[in-house]
Amino acid sequence: MHPRNAKRELDTLEQRFELDETFLSSPNTAALKSAVIRATDRRTGDPVVLKYWEKTGTAVDADFRELWRHEMRQSERVRAFPRADEVVVEVLASGESDDAFYIIMPSDVAPLEHAARFVRPDHWLRALQGPRQRALLWKNLRRLAEALGTVHGQGLVHGRIDGRAIYSTGAATKPDFRLGGFEFCLRVAELNKAPLRVIAKSRPVGSVIFSFLDDWRALGQVVTNLIGLDADKLDEEEIEFIEGRTKIDLRASEIDLIRLLFEPERNRILNAATVTSRIDAVLNELDAEAFADNGRYVLALRLGPTSRLSGTLNAASGDAFDADDADSQVDFIRADLETGASLSRTARGDFLLMTESLVYDLQPLRVVGSDETWNVASCNNARPRDGVFLGRRETIDLPAHRIEIIRFAAASRRLNELRSDALDWSAAFDMTPDGDPTLAVRRGLLLAQIAEALFRAAEIAPVELVDQRRQGNKRIVEIAPSDSEHRMRLSQALSVDEPHKLMRRLFDREEADVDAEWQLTEAAGLGMTVRAAANVRFIRPIQKNNRRLYEFEVLDGVVPPNAQLHLRKVDETGTEQVLRRRLRMLTMLSTQSELAHMLADPRGRLRTYQDDPLVEDAHFDKLDGSKQNALRSIWSTGPAQLVVGPPGVGKTRLVTEVVRRALAGDSAIRLLLSAQAHQALDHLAASVQKMLKKTGLADDVILVRSKADNGADLSGAQTPDRAKAYLKELKDSPLRRRAPRAIQQSLRDMTAAADVTGNLRAKLPLTTLRQRRSFEALVLQSANILFSTTNSGDLARLIEDGAQFDWTIVEEAAKATGPELLAPQLLSMRRLLIGDHNQLPPFDTDRIAEFLEDQTRVKRALAESDPLVGNIFRDFGLDDLKEAVEDDSVLSETCASARRMLLLFESLVTSELDRQKRSDQRRRRVATELLQQHRMHPAIATVISQCFYKGTLDTPEEREAEFYSERPPFTITDERLPSSPIVFVDLPYVQREGSAGEQRPTYHNPAELQAVLSVLGMLKAAPKKPTEPSTLAVLSPYNEQVERLGRAIEDGLQGRLANLVDFKPGTNAPGFESTVDSFQGSEADVVVVSLVRNNDHVGRAALGILRDRRRMNVLLSRAKWKLIIVGSMEFLRVQGRRYRRHNKDDRTVPAFLAKMSEVFDQLAKETLPDGKTPKFEAVPWASLMTDPKS
């Protein structure tokens, strides 16, 4: 047996943990009940609460293992639901010992049946006669109702809600109940797959619950047990209390609610929304009753000669009393409060008691040996009201007669006297703990999204309608850019072109897509209502009456009757919809604090997964070493894992192996696979489909692709296709024949509608369309494997519908911003993000990140933001953010957080990898790197490794041997083109020969274009297999050059480039040409690169896009067998020398250019195994441009 697969030697539970002597909940092995006990982890020294199932040493242990894994799986699904992490007991880790299976929970919780027995006599559980105490009871029951709603929302029946399944910290002033005990949860739709035999052994005959209503009755039983009611006599006119329990004067609404839990109202659905609504009504009544009783706010003053408070009071009174005259000071404060007092909480979470003349700073009572409490507020400082700028705050009025003033020394004694009559100062506000890192995360995400929207909105040009006329059958409008002080200020804050420069850049310099459709509208910003608009197309710029005007043709619509209009791209509407979806996801994040904490600190809540150990089998052996290490980390540690995947390392191979293992372990598992771009997602989906068919897993899996833009490789996987297939299966099934006639007719209508496409769908009956959409939504929610882009509306709908997945896997995560990554992460508690921050970043983030570096610019832009983005962001916290950042420290923190959230994957990965370099390598890892590449010829890989990955990227020996022993899938038909794996077609430096330089429009290079065409004419496809055609790509970082290359290649395919017809493009696009951005994630056997830039400029203007090491990394790493670079070597060397001394880690500085020249020089001295062919060879372009010699 392989040593890795030998049976592990497990510690016993006593060896792993130091167990307390008494149980919180005692075990019962005959009924398979768990034990709950406090313990100390011997490995870490941390106190924990342990829940375990003791092994029997018999075949029953297999049932135990199933029970334990069932709890793990169900708790993960439930805890991923919004707010579930607030109302469901936290599971820190799980594991198996030699004699037990266990889960680890926080040290401060205990089962309610235990906690209720050991609370103090003045605890609210022992004093439910008072309205405030019963309000705490109902607040706790509301938490349990929310948790139960989460369970039911997953299609689960909890099955055992009692004092063992409810956990509490024993808090005396705050609601803290949490729901646990998920080992008995059953998915209603999967009863045949649940461990029924296990549950049957653990419950008396007939007691297994399979009903949502039974869960609510069980919750009702918990309430009656706590109050002391006789549950069997609730239907009688007068309720009865259990003998020996104190009778409580319950309100009628409380009694009605308890009865509702046991017996729902006829024709009314009993669910979490109904129950929490009824509880809220009860709480309103109890709050009113509590306010009318003897409760008071206790204010403890720190007075004396050294007290800052006494000093302020003395100054405010005009030196009317001495600093040690405490009685006079108390009288002064009492008189001050009687002028009118209000309690405020600032944006920073500080509590202030304010009067007309003073602001009193409050803190909770802190006494050594006791927990801090807001049932007494202490005060050690006050400030004159006029000198305090408060900014954004929450405020409530406090009647002076409700405030009891005492000396600080008497605070503890007075609190014990008053007990529940001491009101909680903080209860009036929705508390956010001081220093809560999730607040900075949420503000950062919001600011990052606002900044992105502002840059988008700044592309909307304010214009003046100068003239409109008829020209034949065409309607022509003439417009001129229009400035306003507001737009000028915003342009300066964003450092973007003001409207006149914007129009010149877009239309005079032809930087805009000349065929793009534009819209003339009154709407100045995003999200504004459009009453009238005209779709227009740019014709030409003209000079008229000494003004620069721009002619547009009106395609359709109505030109608004105002002179002041706005010109915007037609696709901005899609942008607005995406923005609204992202903001809804940001709102959901406020209810998912687990994810917010993970974004703030991925290591803060690490978990170890031991319920499904990684099996290092034959599949594992086929992975290279770096993938094996990554898989070990992915399988054992969560809830988040980050994998850095440089070019060619096989990221998709790793993902498909994760998917295969997950499905092989549990065919009912649900996986969400996502990416920012459709192309990357389609490639991933095709790979997964291929794996499923090869491994025989396809038959048990529902695989769905959400709204793909190109389904060529995903035949039948789109949601409509899946729905259509299931409808046709239903058509002839016995199930349909047994169904009522109305359902049969609906199925017939939907089946017929499934074949209707295009505009004809609009003519279908509304009922059929609604049914069809509902059926498609059901298919989407039922998918085992769902492929969907990060910005998909389907993901937003799944989140709002409460759907959950067991895994979320995001490919190319480095190309998505933090707001884009929210949706997929909200859908699961186990997240795998894979990407490479050394390749292309999210679109347009460089200038946004630069903007967020300057706090002054940020504040100025926010001040001008309302007209442009207010309609979208106003309801999502724009005004609150603007007020909060008036505090410079909050502004600084928020800008820093926004930069992190903007480039989320990069910020998480780099901080974690830096930590690994400094710390013990044995610690659990959140991030791993794949450093063995399989795509590129070793010579090409050497360039990429040395220039962009500090020499860490390796080629496995066996893959290197394949490149050196196999023939390439192409031949060279002209000996002037070297056979080296890297060839540089060298054009003269423009300072020496101007004909080889770049030209406008920005940018193209005719000399390089001709060189590329010559090179292409020297290649011939020679595929190794008929089913695997040779692939070719022609890349350039400039759109203009790509478009010209595309036209020239297309023109040449019938003539001088007819040799290319046997090549296949590297992507699904029809042509060989691509930009860098569109080709990331793709590859080709031969890649020809046109660099374009060749000039005599200095600094940033000389290199342009070539400065960006990430784009150059992508540009040079797409080739498998041969990389041909067309450009000026001397130009690159000159620029490289200028930046040689700069920090190589600064991606804004092209220091890699000098390194690239060094690597080229070294490779030119090395040869392939044939001993003749250099690994790199430069060839003068002139030698390729002349006819070969006879």
Residue type, 159: G
pLDDT at 3: 43
Instruction: Provide the 10 A C-beta neighbour count for residue 926.
Output: 24
Res. 530: pLDDT tops 80? no
* C-alpha to C-alpha distance for 670 and 781, rounded to whole angstroms: 10
pLDDT at 87: 93
* C-alpha to C-alpha distance for 351 and 395, rounded to whole angstroms: 10
Residue 626's pLDDT band, with cuts at 50, 70 and 90, is: very high
User: Using CA atoms in the order 1165, 1168, 1173, 1175, what is the torsion angle rounded to 10 degrees?
Assistant: -50
Tokens 């809600």 map to which residue? 161
Res. 512: pLDDT tops 70? no
Res. 649: pLDDT tops 60? yes
Q: Answer yes or no: are the C-beta atoms of 617 and 806 closer than 8 Å.
A: no
What are the tokens at 348?
């920073």
Pair type for strands 341-346 and 351-354: antiparallel
Please indicate whether residue 612 or residue 198 has the higher confidence score (pLDDT): 612
Res. 359: pLDDT tops 60? yes
What are the tokens at 628?
């094996």
- DSSP lists the bridge partners of residue 104 as 50, 93
Res. 34: pLDDT tops 70? yes
Q: Which of 614-618, 650-654, 801-805, 1093-1097 has the lowest mean pLDDT?
A: 801-805
Residue 861's pLDDT band, with cuts at 50, 70 and 90, is: very high
The Cα angle at residue 894 between residues 890 and 896, in degrees rounded to 5: 120
Stated pTM of the model: 0.82
Of 241, 234, 215, the closest CA to residue 147 belongs to: 215
pLDDT at 711: 42
- Segment 74-90 mean pLDDT: 83
pLDDT at 398: 85
Peptide bond into 433 cis (omega under 30): no
Res. 941: pLDDT tops 90? yes
* C-alpha to C-alpha distance for 805 and 786, rounded to whole angstroms: 9
Please indicate whether residue 2 or residue 798 has the higher confidence score (pLDDT): 798
* C-alpha to C-alpha distance for 697 and 715, rounded to whole angstroms: 17
Q: Which residues make Cβ contacts (< 8 Å) with residue 1016, sequence separation at least 6? A: 1032, 1034, 1049, 1052, 1057, 1059, 1060, 1088
Res. 755: pLDDT tops 80? no
Res. 685: pLDDT tops 60? yes
Most confident of 262-271, 379-388, 963-972: 963-972
Of 1007, 982, 984, 1186, the closest CA to residue 1095 belongs to: 1007
Q: Which residues make Cβ contacts (< 8 Å) with residue 442, sequence separation at least 6? A: 586, 589, 590, 596
* C-alpha to C-alpha distance for 1162 and 45, rounded to whole angstroms: 54
CA distances in angstroms from 172 to 121, 137, 138, 474, 854, listed in the order given:
11, 11, 14, 77, 46
- Segment 555-573 mean pLDDT: 85
Res. 134: pLDDT tops 50? yes
Residue type, 306: T
What is the DSSP annotation of 761-828? GGGS-HHHHHHHHHHHHHHHHH-SEEEEETT-HHHHHHHHTT--BSEEEEETGGGS-HHHHHHHHHTB
Res. 991: pLDDT tops 90? no
> In degrees rounded to 5, what are phi and psi of residue 977?
-90, 115
pLDDT at 572: 56
* C-alpha to C-alpha distance for 97 and 15, rounded to whole angstroms: 9
pLDDT at 169: 93
Q: Answer yes or no: are the C-beta atoms of 245 and 228 closer than 8 Å.
A: yes
Q: Answer yes or no: are the C-beta atoms of 38 and 107 closer than 8 Å.
A: yes
Q: Which of 594-598, 799-803, 928-932 has the lowest mean pLDDT?
A: 799-803
CA distance from start to end of the chain: 67
- Segment 1006-1011 mean pLDDT: 95
Of 71, 52, 34, 28, the closest CA to residue 183 belongs to: 71
- Segment 115-127 mean pLDDT: 86
pLDDT at 190: 45
- Segment 1166-1170 mean pLDDT: 95
- Segment 25-29 mean pLDDT: 76
Residue 1129's pLDDT band, with cuts at 50, 70 and 90, is: very high
Give the mean pLDDT of the chain.
Answer: 87
pLDDT at 432: 47
Res. 1174: pLDDT tops 80? yes
Q: Which residues make Cβ contacts (< 8 Å) with residue 66, sequence separation at least 6? A: 195, 198
Q: Which of 4-8, 901-905, 1061-1065 has the lowest mean pLDDT?
A: 4-8
Query: Cα 792 to chain center, whole Å?
Result: 13
Res. 253: pLDDT tops 90? yes
Of 524, 590, 626, the closest CA to residue 930 belongs to: 626
Res. 1114: pLDDT tops 60? yes
Q: Answer yes or no: are the C-beta atoms of 788 and 794 closer than 8 Å.
A: yes
Rama region for 619: left / alpha / beta (φ>0; ψ in -120 to 50; rest): alpha
* C-alpha to C-alpha distance for 165 and 181, rounded to whole angstroms: 5
Query: Which part of the chain is CATH 2.40.30.230?
Result: 460-570
pLDDT at 975: 93
* C-alpha to C-alpha distance for 1062 and 1030, rounded to whole angstroms: 7
pLDDT at 942: 98
Tell me what percent of the residues of the chain surpass a pLDDT of 70.
91
- What are the tens digits of pLDDT across the range 688-746? 999 999 999 888 788 888 865 444 456 667 778 888 888 888 877 888 888 888 888 88
Q: Answer yes or no: are the C-beta atoms of 1030 and 1062 closer than 8 Å.
A: yes
Query: Which part of the chain is CATH 1.10.510.10?
Result: 13-291
Peptide bond into 639 cis (omega under 30): yes
pLDDT at 593: 84
* C-alpha to C-alpha distance for 662 and 73, rounded to whole angstroms: 12
Q: Which of 43-57, 454-468, 517-531, 814-828 has the lowest mean pLDDT?
A: 517-531
Query: Which part of the chain is CATH 3.40.50.300?
Result: 967-1185
- What are the tens digits of pLDDT across the range 363-376? 999 988 777 889 89
**CATH level 2 (architecture), domain 13-291:** Orthogonal Bundle (1.10)
Q: Answer yes or no: are the C-beta atoms of 594 and 827 closer than 8 Å.
A: no
Q: Give the up-direction half-sphere exposure of residue 274: CA atoms within 13 A in the CB hemisphere.
A: 13
* C-alpha to C-alpha distance for 172 and 9, rounded to whole angstroms: 44
* C-alpha to C-alpha distance for 842 and 815, rounded to whole angstroms: 4
- For the domain made up of 460-570, give the CATH fold: Elongation Factor Tu (Ef-tu); domain 3 (2.40.30)
* C-alpha to C-alpha distance for 1145 and 1151, rounded to whole angstroms: 9
What are the tokens at 483?
């400035």
Hey, is 255 helix, strand or coil? helix
pLDDT at 395: 81
The helix or strand, by DSSP H or E, that contains position 633, with its residue range, turns out to be helix 625-636
Taken in order 237, 242, 248, 250, the sign of the CA dihedral is negative
pLDDT at 944: 97
What is the DSSP annotation of 546-558? TEEEEEEEEEEE-
Of 797, 796, 744, 792, the closest CA to residue 771 belongs to: 744
Res. 95: pLDDT tops 80? yes
pLDDT at 349: 78
- Segment 943-971 mean pLDDT: 95
Instruction: Provide the 10 A C-beta neighbour count for residue 656.
Output: 21
Instruction: Provide the 10 A C-beta neighbour count for residue 189.
Output: 11
* C-alpha to C-alpha distance for 257 and 270, rounded to whole angstroms: 11
- What are the tens digits of pLDDT across the range 1087-1101? 999 999 999 887 777
Q: Answer yes or no: are the C-beta atoms of 789 and 807 closer than 8 Å.
A: no
- Segment 29-42 mean pLDDT: 82
- Segment 1121-1144 mean pLDDT: 85
pLDDT at 192: 44
* C-alpha to C-alpha distance for 139 and 131, rounded to whole angstroms: 12
Class of domain 967-1185: alpha beta
Q: Which of 179-193, 335-349, 658-672, 876-890 has the lowest mean pLDDT?
A: 179-193
The helix or strand, by DSSP H or E, that contains position 536, with its residue range, turns out to be strand 533-544
